[in-house]
Every structure is written in C-alpha cells, then in structure tokens.
A and B are shown apart, each in its own frame.
Chain A
Amino acid sequence: MTPPAVPPLVAARGLSYAYPDGSAALRELSLEIRDGERFGLLGPNGCGKSTFLRLLAGEGIRGLRRDSSVDGARQRWLAPDQPVLRSWLSGRENAATLLELHGARPREARAAADAWIERFGLSGDANRPARTYSSGMRRRLALAAAFGARPRLLLLDEPLAGLDPGGRAAFATALADHRAGGGTAVLSVHDPGFAAANCDRVAFIVDGRCAVADTPARLLGRIGVRPRVEIRFPAGGNPDRETLDPAPAGVRPASWGEGSLLLEVEDPSRALPETLAWILRAGASVASVDVREPGLADAFAILTGRDLEETAEDTA
C-alpha cells in the first residue's frame, strides 16, 4: 500500500508578483518546500529569490499556500539580505530585541541571544554597539538572532554574504541543527558549492520562475557532465591545431578559448599525463592545468541555459 502523500509545508503554484512600479518580480513560479528540509534557491541577481522569500514571510498572497503550522507570523523568521539592526544598541541588545519582537519573554530572549551569539563567535563583542561591527559580524549577529528564535520556517536571504570561513562553518552547523530539531529552512545563496553540500534540495530560479528543483545529486545526475580539465597556454604557446593528433581515449575537447583549452575527461588522474603529452607533441607550452569536478554551477548553466554570474539587467 502506498503511504499517503505528505502535503508540502509551503507550495507556490503559478505565483506571480509585480512591484508597485509594475515590473514583474515573479512569473508563474511553482515549487514545493517540504517539512524539515533545507531548501536552497540558486539564481543570478534580480531573478526573484529575495521577493519570493519576502512573500513567504509575508501575510499571504494568491498562489502561495502555507501549512497551518507556519501560518502564524511568529512561526516564520526572515533574515533579510541587509541585517536589520539598531546601530547604537549593543549586539546583545539587538539580538534580544529581535527575539522579543517575535514573542520571546525578555529573560528568554536574553538567554537565547547570549547562547547563539556565543555559537556565532561574537561573545567578546556582544556588548559593543552594532555600529562598530564589520559587515560579517552584522551578518553573524542577524543569524544568531534568527536561529535563536527557533522558528518552524526559517527564511534566509543571502546568509553567506560577508561571512568568513569560520562564520560559514558556524552557519552550516546551525542549519544542520535547525533541521535536526524539525525546522525547515529556505535560503537564497550565490555559492553553488555551499548549496550542494548543505541543502537537501535546490531550486534554480531564472527570471522569476523555478526552472527545476531537485536534490543536488539528482541535478548533477541530470546533466551527465564529466570532470573538466582546463589547460592554459602562455602567450605564443598555443598548440598548432592543424597538426594536433586526435585526442587520447576518454578525452574530448569541449571548447577552445583565448589561450586555453577546456577538455572533458572521464578519469582525470589517468588521462592527465597522456593529455599533456598530446598537447606538448603539437608544439605547445603549458602555463597551468586546472581540474574541475562538475558542480551545481555547471548544472545551472546546462539546465537553464543561463550563467549564475549574470544579472537580470544582462538578460533583459
């Protein structure tokens, strides 16, 4: 017997939204977010990720359905891309105030703020005014408050912006703990590697639409891209393409660039010596060799036909 289908925590079906000036931010966006997952939104600037997160956090709109467990404003928490802090209050006061606004009693708010400020490595600076914080510290503080509230649905807009490796590690751990505690998180990111490692599912957002949503492994499986080897040549060191022998077995030239050659290879560790010998035989000099495993950025480019680096203006 098939188990009954579990309804999604949040479902967007044909969700469209335009700004007051009339410009469209979301166009018939459809996707589902399941209870307890870490859901990544990947897409270039201006594609509608932040708007979607704001609508998820908001009061409700046609085309967006939320489970009753996250229908109350206090079950949802949006950490915006620009942390909302009072610059003259200390980090501790800021975090506690945000938690109080979301319904925590003053004493609970202070305790949660202290605990999460420590987890994000800000204890030593907690009593300093927020105006003295760097952008990375402001981000850590905003994340500390967000996780301290333990919302059922955590919405994080570009949470990695400004974070150093320590901050990213603290964030990844907090995200995993939030999921382990039964929470759901939706985050917009620009780092495909982070999304692949820390999200259960990822949606590719382009021009206000969801192009595809799946687990990182399945997204990579869909494209079937092999590892890539990029060989760069010094000035005047390009091989003579007329006299170049056929590529060794398991190696396929993907594209020739200005002073570079991109190859798809089945097994880089085995093919690399043979590949270099093949290039050098054609009279080339080699400046550098870079081996890349395919990632979500490649999957994004292949499945959407767009580059993650571009902006909405580039494609308008």
Chain B
Amino acid sequence: MTIWRLAWRSALARRRLFAWNVAVPLLLLTPVALSAAAAPHRVAVFGVFIVFFAAFGSAIPAVRDARDGWIDEILRAGYPALRWLLERTLAGTAIDALQLAPTLFVLLWSAGGLRAAPVVLPATIATLWFANLLGPLVAAAVRSLAEAALASAALSLLLLHFAGFFRTPAPGWTSLVADWNPYTPLRAALGAAVGPMPMDDSVWLRSLLVAAGFTFGAAIFASDWSRRLRWPRT
C-alpha cells in the first residue's frame, strides 16, 4: 500500500492546501445549499462541483507526477501498474470524500436532516471513484497541465450532461445513455436529498455496472495506460 500511504503523506504534508480544499467547497456551496434556488439548479451546482473537484484533482497531479518522473520511478521499481492505479484511485477517493464531507453535511442538513445520507454518501463516493479513475486516463492522453485541465473539464461536462444534470433526459437514446452513466446515481441521490425527486433504485445497478466495467477495463489496460505516463519516454 505504498501508493496509498504516499497519497496520504502528500495530502497531509500540504496542510494549507488541504485546508483550502475543505474551505473552498464550503464557501462556494453553502450559499447554494441554503438558498431558495430550485432543486434542479442546486443539484446541478453540487454535481458539477463534486465531479470537477475529483476529476481535476486526479488528472492534474497525474500529469505532474508523470512530468516529474514519479510514475516512471514507481513502475521502474517493479510496482505493479494495476496496484498503482487502484491504490491511487482509492486514496484520491478517500481524500476527496474527507475534504467534501463538511460541505455534504451542510447540504444534507439544509435539506432537512440526514435522511438522504444513505443515498447521497454512496453516490458521492462512487462518483469520486469514477472521476479519480479518469484522471490517469486523461493524463495519458495529454502533454501538459493545461491540456489535462481542458480535457478533464470537457469530459466531465459531457458525462454530466448525459447524466441529466443540466436537463432531464428525453425518452429515447439520451435516456438510455443516462441510465448507463456513472454520474447518474449522484444526480438521483442529490435530487432525492434536496427536492421531491424520488430515486429509482434501478439507477444504482445500471450506473454502478458501468463504473465497475470501467474499473475492470482500466485494470486490464493499466500496464499499457501507465506506460504512456512514463516520462521521459525512452
């Protein structure tokens, strides 16, 4: 679990950054949570923030680690690429969840208590896992931090859109895509928390199957994937 420990050591060594990562979501999202904005708007703001928080926080450090030679060092040391990927994703998910916990508490409390916690927390964790897993994929496809930020934003917005965060999917293919989108449980859970939007339990199964399938695919291709992150590329 060296990569897991390294991720935690790194997060805790930069205390100021850690504090900012707790404070900024609180400062930005508390007014939204307490506002009288319509439930779909609040869901969209929270969804975009949570996904971007994890996606940027995964892709940008992955590019930086590649550029600084860390990933090359890790893999050259014989550390299995799959373990690197899974430990990194797990640690990123746990750290993001910890940093977002106060904000989620405010959201749940403002929505009338913690009754929606059993759906919001798993949905958030599943979302963070998926967004963290996308980080190295994005990093493998780009050449700079700026490209990583741009690609993460574009990919995240696309997935958020097809998950129905910005408009309710119409019956037909958009609805089908939403059914199989890994971010759909978060939309459904946030909707159940902040407004009278009942949650369809089947959302869970389909979307989590997609996330599990993506994780399985990432595991199979982890070695090839990580090779693209070995800079300098000799």
Given the complex of chains A and B, what is the CA–CA distance between A80 and B72 in angstroms?
A: 11
Contact B234 A58 (CB under 8 A): yes
Q: How far is the CB of A315 from chain B (nearest CB, A)?
A: 22
Quote the shortest CB–CB distance from A148 to chain B (angstroms): 13
> Whose C-beta in chain A lies nearest to the C-beta of B75?
A73
Question: Are A89 and B10 neighbours in the complex by a CB distance under 8 Å?
Answer: yes
> Are A51 and B78 in touch, CB under 8 angstroms?
no
Q: A100-108, A231-239, A264-272: which lies at the B interface?
A: A100-108
Contact between chains at A97 and B2 (CB < 8 Å): yes
Q: Scan A79-92; emit 1 where CB is below 8 A from any B CB, else 0.
A: 01010101011100
Say if the beta carbon of A74 comes within 8 Å of chain B.
yes
C-alpha spacing A20/B233, complex, angstroms: 8
> B77: CB under 8 A from chain A?
yes
Shortest B89–chain A CB gap in Å is 18
Interface size class of A (residues with CB under 8 A): 20 to 34
8 Å CB interface, A68-121 against B: 72-74, 78, 80, 82, 84, 86, 88-90, 93, 97-98, 100-103, 106
CB atoms of B70 and A57 under 8 A apart: no
Given contacts A73-B77, A84-B68, contact A106 B5 (CB under 8 A): yes
Tell me the complex Cα distance, A129–B17, Å. Answer: 15
Chain B residues contacting A90 (CB-CB under 8 Å) are: 13
Whether A84 contacts B234 by the Cβ 8 Å rule is no
Interface size on B, residues (CB 8 A): 20
Beta-carbon contact of B13 and A89 below 8 Å: yes
* Also in contact, A88 and B76, with CB within 8 A (given A54-B234, A97-B9): no
User: Does B201 touch A at the CB level, under 8 Å?
Assistant: no
Please give, as numbers and ranges, the residues of chain B lying within 8 Å of A100 by CB-CB distance: 2, 5
CB-CB under 8 A from A101, the residues of chain B are 2, 73-74, 77, 79
Question: Which residue of B2, B10, B13, B234 is within 8 Å of A51 (Cβ)?
Answer: B234
- Contacts A55-B234, A72-B78, A90-B13 aside, 17 further interface pairs with beta carbons under 8 A come to A20-B233, A54-B234, A57-B76, A58-B76, A73-B76, A73-B77, A80-B69, A86-B13, A86-B70, A97-B2, A97-B5, A97-B6, A97-B9, A98-B73, A101-B77, A101-B79, A103-B78
28 interchain pairs (CB within 8 A)? A19-B233, A20-B233, A51-B234, A54-B232, A54-B234, A57-B76, A58-B76, A72-B78, A74-B77, A84-B68, A84-B69, A84-B72, A86-B6, A86-B13, A88-B13, A89-B9, A89-B10, A89-B13, A90-B13, A93-B13, A97-B5, A97-B6, A98-B77, A100-B2, A101-B2, A101-B73, A102-B77, A103-B77
